[in-house]
Structure 1
Amino acid sequence: MNNSLLKYGWVTAVLVVGALQLSQAWDGATLYFGLAALAGFAALPLKRIVPAGLAALAVMVLALTGGFFLARGASPDRDPTWVLLDTVPRLLTAARPAPATPELLVPGLLLIIGVSTGMVLSVTKRGTALFVPALGAATLYVSAALLTTGRADRSGLVALTLVVVLALGWLIIDRRGPVVPPAVLATTLAALTLLAFVLPANGFEPRKLVTPPVTNIAISNPLPQLAAWAAQGETELFRMRGPEVPVRLVTLSRYSGASWEAASRYGPLGVVDAPDLPIGGKFQDASVDLRITGLRGEWLPGVGKPQAVSLSDAMVDPDTGSLVVADGLKAGLNYTVRGVVETPADTDLAEAQVPAAATKYTALPRLPFTLAEYARQATQNARTPYEKAVALEQVVRLNRRPDAEAPVGSSYARLETFLFGAAGESGAGAGTAEQFASAYAVLARAVGLPTRVVVGFQPVPEQNGERIVRAADATAWPEVYFSGWGWVAFDPVSGNGSGPSAASKREVLNRLASTTAKPAPTSLASVPPLVQPTAVRDDRAAVPQAPKGFPYWAFTPVLVLAGLFVARTSRRVRLRAAGPVGAWHEVLDSLQLAGLQPLPSRTVPDVAGEWGEAGARLAVLVDQAAFAPEPVQHENSWRLARQVKKAVRRKASWWRKVVWAIDPRPLFRR
């Protein structure tokens, strides 16, 4: 009896150590795995009724049935076998550590229950007391090492503990029957431990055996919604508990020149693919609990670069960390997000550089020259990328005001109005966080800084341990990537957001005194040339190049003069077709060109009589055309008008004769 208790106690110790090691592959699953480690003892009463093999089968059938009911919520319309088999690829494509959701817990729980049942039943037999528990412990340990890529036991203390516990069992428990010598056992476990470390270190990753599901989701850009949220004011969107860090809704990295675009391909959190730009060298972990109350849409609020989320159906864009839920948010949804927040020091950023190959974050299709030149002027005295970033933050904020009712949009045209618009023009010098963040990101890209725009919420004061995030808390801010330090937030709206300290920015601005003044946008007589995105590599790319070849702009005056001549000629053709009345208007045009325009009160005969017999005869024809009961055709009215016109032209000054054919004044005479 005492020997049996020692055996069961020994097996329990081995199972608990192995289960706790395996539980590290999940987030918050220690209790579940600890209980599963004891499930094998349920086979003992069954063994008194049926053979050990049937007792083990009964326990596993019950475990598989329970696993099916736990996991079928993820695939309610599939058969039990498919549902259980699908839990393995789901686990291998989930976050690391995986959230403790039912469908993701099933593979680990079934593994522990199987190992536990085998170990408990084995010690009831003579001769297998040492071998089966050692095999079970090695299975749990190697599984944990592979699922966590060796991170579950970095120092090897758990492996040493298992070896000691197994060795004590060999020494204390009755050794009748075939046993494994301690040297062989130690060598085997050491080999398994080495295997568990070597495989992940050499690139072996069990997740690569499964193709992670990637979903194409067409989700609109939420930037224009900032104005609507501002109008909703105190409307509650969600509640949160945790550290005071900005809550991120979506990160936008692609800019088309017309708007910012979100990523369209999302996969399970924790997929093998790494982000295109690595996380910085200094960061802190942040975990927040959120409860959705009024927020709608597919975007899932999170913090930093998400590392784990308690929702099994959440997907992520690995490059930006934006989280989505394909079925949309629902009121009452509770979840936990754990993320990494980059925290570089001011001294780290002072001399930091930016990656040269981050074209995705510097692309500016068909950038207008005005924006490129404005960015160049704003940063012309800056020595480092950090100084450029600080200078642009000050320039975008200077003499511009937040306005919740300003026109939405982040196109080149909207940004030019926001930056350069004349007083009184709609949206000039005023905008929501959309325009401030977009203008900063575009100008920064124009001088070679990798940027993106984040839509999110700033933390609000805590109330009873819980923060209430309202619609008015929604905002947007730009981020700049610095090599070795990651993404750093800037605040062109107020300059007081998270990111570099105010003292650091003030020191930079004091040195760059000239950048605090508003740069003058370049005013051009015609449409400015466009800077191609491949040309925006450094400051020199923003400088306009001298035109090459023949200066076609020199033809502009000629085209204007030709246009006026054609317009005047067209008017004379219409007047000639109008008979005597048209001929008289031709005379009036001549008087206007000669500076002899008569007073409106004078009659036709009175004015025409001053220009000889031709004028008097033309006046008679005009009266007949105007007052005769029937239309009268006079073929010689235009000839008489030309005679009067020659007489009038002789009275004109020389300079009026020079511009006679192109003077535009007759075009505006009624």
Structure 2
Amino acid sequence: MLLAVAAVPLAQGWSGAVAYPVFAAAIVVAHALVAAAGSRFGGGTVLSVLLPVGLFGGYFAARGAIPGGPLEVLRDSVPRLLTAARPAPPSVDLLMPGAVLVFCVAVLAAVSLRGARLLGPPLAAVALYAAGALLTGGQADPYGLVAVGVVAVALAGWVRVAEAPLILGAVVALVAVVLPGANAFEPRELVRPPVADVQVANPLPRLAAWAAAPETELFRLRGPQLPVRLAVLADYTGASWRASALYGPLGAVDAPDLPPGQRVEEASVEFVVGALDGTWLPGVGRTVSTSIGDALVDADSGALVLPRGLAPGLRYTVRGVVDQPTDEALAAAGVPGGPAVRRYLALPNLPTELAEYARRGVESARTPYEQAVALEQVVRLDRVPDAEAPTGSSYARISQFLFGAPGSTGAGKGTAEQFATAYAVLARAVGLPTRVVVGFPPVPEGPDGYRVVRGIDATAWPEVYFDGWGWIPFDPVSGTDSGPSAAAKREVLDRLASITASPTTPPTDAPPLVQPPAPVVEPPVAAEPSRWPVVLAVVPVLPVVLLLALRGIRRSRLRRAGAAGAWRHVLDLLVVSGRAPAPRLAAPEVASSLPAPAPRLADLADRAAFSPEGDVAGAEPWLLARQVRRAVSRGVPWYRRVWWPIDPRPLRRR
């Protein structure tokens, strides 16, 4: 019962209701095996048999999911669990380390009971509780209720009431140590999460294909009315957008390159995949967890991918957070600087006409937020969405979309790809960090509680990063988005109307000038100091320290031996001074050739070794030993005496 209560927080590390029955079964099986073997074998034999049984049982259960032999499977199981989603999916490979831990701890507790050791089960319970606190970051028992239950069951199970207060105090102290605090220790920080190179396709060109099949059900969802994100594109080459190729498991402690906002909204959404294919997995906001165990996430954007691909009928849940700053906060917000923002400002070989158009569009804007609102109006001005417009995100396509002569192909017409890309390019040209999101706007709820997302709903929008408030979406197509409120935008546009309504359009008959990219000045990197001088200085010192420690341990042991130890200390002195006596000589014979205190010390040593009374001399033998040492040292030069404390020869004497 004690271990069953303590395993409750540990089971919270896995999603669903599978983990706890498995752990309870492991506890029962462990106690049954110990009880069955108790009448025939000793405790040491039981441990030497059952603990390897638990380890190899875990290996055989997970050998198909984790490559390698027994050592590799057992070694890699815990890092795989720490880099999985939180809570982890209850798959065999992720559940195995928890089950093995519970089984081995239960075996130790059961064996301790056979020896009437009452501290064994409470210590085992504390071990399980601590494992649960570490695995969940201290969130499994935030109020300490399970800890109180552990103490109560332990107290009820003790038979010898006289020992209960002492043992109760020990258990309370141990449980208090592992209760979550203000700054909970995070073991996932000690494990480097595995990163997979996943080849994903840019979904922007598919917007036209989805628009051509407007009634096709891509997926359905149930949850709050929020935009659904499919892919986040941050790297722009001047010809197209590229998605990140490196993805890791959910739950790994790996902070994004730009920190999330200070005010967020958390949402949990259930998805059911329809005709949507590919590897991109729909989600909301920055993904925190998902019920799909093999889903991977881009740590910087929170976008999800499923390497095995989507299939019709796939059902899963996603929990994410969405940045939700107030209008007042955005009005005063700035944009960050530094190397982390560089990828969100990159515009290789930006044409001068685009840079000048962006600059004139924000001439009267006073803050980054006003610039972002103004550019939304600039891109939307006199341009219309057209599902049949030419696709593409290159500078040439954006220039034709913005500056093309009326009536020419693609002039003033584009899909969400051109609107979002044009906004992102112009915003980057004036210093606003941007990225493009492919996703779906909120759709009405149906009679069955699900929101059906169809091909006509697919779109793309840009997002701007504001320092301290995260990524905020803008909508240059219609201006109705889930970002800043319409009232705040209208207030900005009313003030900037005379400027932002008609930015000067560059001539289209002149060849476009290309603005050379600004040279990237890397900050000087301080040379890492070499460690070899430290190593070369420490290596010779280590043997000296080791010999000093061993000789000190030997002197301490001899001091506890009384007169016999004092005499052996004198013999050590004779060895290091080069006057080692022959092994056949007795103590009085050796003392006869030494200074005056030596015979008395030899007599006391003989009495301690052979007389019926034993050692009754008290402190006198060591006083005599120090007198002998001073007398012997007088005839030895100082530079030889320096090496006496580290001379290894006395360590070889029996």
* TM-score normalised by L of structure 1: 0.70
Indicate which of 65, 87, 96 corresponds to 1:74: 65
Change (3 A) 1:328 1:73: farther
Following TM superposition, by how much is the alpha carbon of 1:271 offset from its aligned partner in structure 2, in angstroms? 2.2
The answer (yes or no) to whether the contact 1:248–1:457 under 8 Å persists in 2 is yes
Q: Structure 2 CA distance, aligned partners of 1:517 and 1:59? A: 79
Aligned position for 1:132: 120
Q: 1:513 to 1:386 in 2, by over 3 A?
A: same
* Cα 1:67/1:473, change in 2 over 3 Å: farther
**Pairing partner for 1:174 from 160, 163, 170:** 160
- Following superposition, the deviation at residue 509 of structure 1 comes to 1.1
Matched, 1:325 2:310: no
| 1:167 to partner: Cα distance | 4.3
Partner of 2:572: none
Give the drift of 1:152. Answer: 3.9
Q: Does 1:527 align with 2:508?
A: no
- Report SS of the residue matched to 1:512: helix
Give the superposition deviation at 1:183.
Answer: 3.7
Match of 2:274 in 1: 293
Instruction: Say yes or no: does 1:95 pair with 2:66.
Output: no
CA distance in structure 2 between the aligned counterparts of 1:37 and 1:207, rounded to whole angstroms: 26
- Aligned position for 2:37: 50
- Give, in angstroms, the shift of residue 513 of structure 1: 1.6
Q: Report which stretch shifted further, 366-375 or 525-534.
A: 525-534
Contact 2:289 2:320 in 1 (8 A): yes
1:362 aligns with 2:349: no
Q: Counterpart of 1:268?
A: 249
Q: Quick one: distance in 2 between partners of 1:525 and 1:189?
A: 78
What one-letter code is carried by the residue in structure 2 that aligns with 1:424?
G
Residues 289-298 or 485-494, more deviating: 289-298
The alpha carbon displacement at 1:425 in A equals 0.8
Report matched runs for 1:211-360 at 5 Å.
Answer: 211-357=192-338, 358-360=341-343
Match in the other structure for 2:130: 142
Q: Figure out how many residues of one structure are paired with residues of the other and give that number.
A: 514
Q: Shift of residue 184 of structure 1? A: 3.8
Does the 8 Å contact 2:205/2:391 carry over to 1? Answer: yes
Q: CA deviation at 1:442?
A: 0.8
Using the alignment, how far apart are the partners of 2:48 and 2:271 within structure 1? 42
User: Alpha-carbon deviations, 1:246-279, whole Å to 9, x = none?
Assistant: 1111100111111111111111122222101111
The 8 Å contact of residues 383 and 412 in structure 2, kept in 1 or not, is answered as yes
> Over residues 135-184 of structure 1, what are the superposed CA-to-partner deviations in whole Å (9 max), with x where a residue is unaligned?
112212222232233444556555455445534544xx335899964444
Q: Which amino acid is the alignment partner of residue 373 of structure 2?
A: V
1:284 maps to amino acid? E
Q: Deviations over 1:283-339 (max 9, x none)?
A: 121111222222211111111111112222211111111211222222232222111
Is the partner of 2:459 in helix, strand or coil?
Answer: strand
1:36 has 2:23 as partner: yes
- What is the distance in 2 between the residues matched to 1:62 and 1:310? 32
Secondary structure at the aligned position of 1:253 is classed as: strand
State whether residues 98 and 308 of structure 1, in contact with CA within 8 Å, keep that contact through their aligned partners in structure 2: no
1:134 Cα deviation after fit: 1.9
Aligned residue runs from structure 1 range 406-555, under 5 A: 406-463=389-446, 464-523=448-507, 526-534=510-518
Judging changes above 3 Å, is the alpha-carbon distance between structure 1 residues 177 and 160 closer, same or farther for their aligned structure 2 residues? closer
Residues 320 and 376 of structure 1, relative CA distance in 2, 3 Å threshold: same
Contact 2:3–2:27 at 8 Å: present in 1 too? no
Shift of 1:93: 1.3
What secondary structure does 2:321 align onto?
Answer: strand
Segment drifting more, 335-344 vs 31-40: 31-40
Partner amino acid, structure 2, of 1:145:
A
Name the CA shift for 1:393/1:274 in 2 (closer, same or farther; >3 Å): same
1:451 CA drift (Å)? 0.5
Distance 2:368 2:126 in 1: 52
Cα distance between partner residues in 2 of 1:147 and 1:331: 34
Q: Check the 8 A contact 1:43/1:121 in 2, yes or no.
A: no
- 1:84 Cα deviation after fit: 4.6
Structure 2 CA distance, aligned partners of 1:72 and 1:334? 27
- For the residue of structure 2 that corresponds to 1:218, the secondary structure is coil
Cα distance 1:99–1:279, how it changes in 2: closer, same or farther (>3 A)? farther
Question: Retained in 1: the 8 A contact 2:13–2:132?
Answer: yes
Residues 90-138 of structure 1 deviation map (CA, whole Å, 9 limit, x = unaligned): 1121123323333222222332343345445655x46323x12221122
CA distance in 2, matches of 1:402, 1:74: 49
1:621-632 mapped onto 2 (5 Å cutoff): none
Q: Secondary structure at the match of 2:435?
A: strand
CA change 1:157–1:384 in 2 (3 A) is farther
Q: Unpaired segments of 5 or more residues in structure 1?
A: 1-11, 538-670
Residues 413-422 or 48-57, more deviating: 48-57
1:380 aligned onto 2:363: yes
Residues 533/353 of structure 1: CA separation in 2 closer, same or farther (3 Å cut): farther
**8 Å contact 1:224–1:409 — kept in the other structure?**
yes
Residue 193 of structure 1 aligns with which residue?
178
Q: What is the Cα deviation at residue 187 of structure 1?
A: 3.7
**For the residues of structure 2 that align with 1:460 and 1:419, how far apart are their CA atoms?**
30
Distance 1:396 1:443, change over 3 A: same
SS, match of residue 330 in structure 1: coil
* Residue 525 to residue 466, structure 1, CA distance change in 2 (3 Å): closer
**Which whole-Å CA distance do the structure 1 matches of 2:520 and 2:398 have between them?**
18
Residue type at the aligned position of 1:74: A
RMSD of aligned residue pairs (Cα, Å): 3.1
Q: CA deviation at 1:376?
A: 1.3
Which residue pairs with 2:638 in the alignment? none
Q: Which whole-Å CA distance do the structure 2 matches of 1:236 and 1:66 have between them?
A: 46
- 1:443 is displaced (CA, Å) by 0.8
C-alpha distance in structure 1 between counterparts of 2:472 and 2:83, whole Å:
29
Hey, what's the Cα distance between the residues in 1 that align with 2:502 and 2:14? 54
Give the match's secondary structure for 2:372.
helix
Aligned to 1:400: 383
Deviations 1:342-393 (CA, angstroms, capped at 9, x unpaired): 1112122111111122222111111111111111111111111111111111
Q: Provide closer, same or farther for how the CA distance between residues 294 and 525 of structure 1 changes in structure 2, counting only shifts above 3 A.
A: closer
Taking the aligned partners of 1:526 and 1:536, their CA distance within structure 2 comes to: 29
Q: CA deviation at 1:430?
A: 0.6
Matched, 1:114 2:97: no
**Cα distance, 1:189 vs. partner?**
3.8
Is this contact kept in 2: 1:306–1:339, CA < 8 A?
yes
Shift of 1:499: 0.8
User: 8 Å contact 1:363–1:533 — kept in the other structure?
Assistant: no
**Cα distance change, pair 150–536 in 1 and its aligned pair in 2 (3 A):** same
Percent of residue pairs identical: 55
Specify the SS of the correspondent of 1:281.
coil
Q: Is the 8 A contact 2:419 2:476 kept in 1?
A: yes
Q: Quick check: 2:61–2:92 contact (8 Å CA) kept in 1?
A: yes
Residue 9 (structure 2) aligns with? 21
Asked whether the 8 Å contact 1:354–1:385 carries over to 2, the reply is yes
TM-score for the superposition, normalised by structure 2: 0.72
Structure 1 or 2, whichever has the larger Rg, is: 1
Letter in 1 for 2:412: G
Residues 175 and 430 of structure 1, relative CA distance in 2, 3 Å threshold: same
TM-aligned CA distance change 1:517 to 1:187, over 3 Å: closer
How far apart are the structure 2 equivalents of 1:481 and 1:47? Answer: 60
